[in-house]
């Protein structure tokens, strides 16, 4: 498991901007800047997933409102076309989907060449064992606990076992960090944490709460 110097595993909370009020994006981001660890930005192209969200221009605009690391989740076909654009817009980590990359090893190399951290996301139907030959090259593995495309969906319980299997695959190494995304609430967070997750992404449970800052703190502790 990924542990700090004291041997205590550090849990990072990454609010997903998808559930923020897009009419007041800057305010929403400032509201979580003191308590969150990363900001998760969902990029959807209307092809890999049946929804369209934001592009590099919006990421660049949001970049000016916070110092939080930007964790960019690309739900995009042929993501290699946009790696540089999102990195230039301010991404610190870039996560591409396994299912969108026939030449995954090359795409991960392209991400590293930009100086960003590289992540790979797995849809519910893709087993973690698909990454057995890539583990050493990855900074992050994102286990989807819903089918990607929309916020506010119910947590897919089998994701807990996938997190456990991914933790086993990683063994004693510190990397890749294991991230879980979709349906994370105060109820489901403890399940994935005890299975070995390091980074929890949550949209509705944070931005849908009356006090996003305290929702983050509760999720980190609980």
| Residue matched to tokens 């190399």 | 109
Residue 176, preceding bond cis, omega within 30 degrees? yes
Q: Are 40 and 205 in contact (CB under 8 A)?
A: no
The answer to whether 33 contacts ligand DX5 (rule: CB under 6 A) is no
Long-range contacts of 188-191 (CB under 8 A, 24+ apart): 188/145, 188/155, 189/219, 189/222, 190/222, 191/160
Residue 122: both structure tokens together: 């797995």
Under a CB-based contact definition with an 8 Å cutoff, are residues 153 and 107 in contact? no
Q: How far is the CB of 13 from ligand DX5 (least distance, A)?
A: 11
Among 37, 45, 181, 198, binds Zn ion (CB under 5 A): 181
Nearer to ligand DX5, 90 or 182 (CB): 182
- Among residues 40 and 87, whose Cβ is nearest to ligand DX5? 40
Q: Does 73 bind ligand DX5 (CB under 6 A)?
A: yes
If contact means CB under 5 to 8 A according to the sort of partner, which of Zn ion, ligand DX5, none does residue 19 touch? ligand DX5
**Residue 95 near ligand DX5 by CB under 6 A:** no
Report what 202 binds from ligand DX5, Zn ion, none; CB cut-off 5-8 Å by kind. ligand DX5
Task: Tell me which stretch binds ligand DX5 (CB under 6 A): 64-72, 97-105, 132-140, 146-154.
Answer: 146-154
User: Which residue in this structure is represented by tokens 């990029």?
Assistant: 43
* Binding partner selected for residue 142 from Zn ion, ligand DX5, none, CB under the kind-specific 5 to 8 Å limit: none
Q: Which residues are the active-site residues?
A: 42, 181
Write down the least CB distance from residue 4 to Zn ion, Å. Answer: 25
Q: What CA–CA distances, in Å, run from 36 to 70, 192, 202, 220?
A: 11, 18, 11, 9
């Amino acid at each position: 498991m990924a542990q700090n110097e004291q041997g205590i595993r550090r849990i990072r909370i990454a609010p997903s901007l998808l559930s923020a009020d897009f009419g007041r994006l800057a305010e929403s981001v400032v509201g979580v800047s003191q308590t969150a660890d990363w900001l998760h930005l969902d990029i959807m192209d209307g092809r890999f997933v049946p929804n369209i969200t934001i592009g590099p221009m919006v990421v660049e605009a949001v970049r000016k409102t916070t110092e939080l690391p930007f964790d960019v989740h690309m739900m995009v076909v042929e993501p290699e076309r946009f790696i540089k654009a999102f990195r230039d817009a301010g991404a610190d980590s870039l996560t591409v989907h396994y299912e969108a990359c026939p030449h995954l090893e090359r795409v991960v190399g392209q991400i590293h060449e930009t100086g960003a951290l590289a992540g790979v996301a797995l849809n519910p139907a893709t087993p973690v064992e698909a990454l057995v030959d890539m583990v050493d090259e990855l900074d992050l593995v994102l286990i989807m606990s819903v089918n990607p495309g929309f916020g506010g969906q119910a947590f897919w319980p089998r994701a807990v076992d996938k997190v456990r299997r991914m933790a086993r695959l990683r063994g004693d190494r510190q990397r890749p960090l294991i991230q879980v995304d979709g349906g994370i609430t105060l109820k489901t967070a403890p399940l994935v944490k005890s299975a070995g997750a390091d980074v929890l992404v949550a949209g509705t449970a944070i931005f849908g709460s009356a006090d996003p800052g305290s929702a983050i703190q509760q999720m980190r502790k609980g």
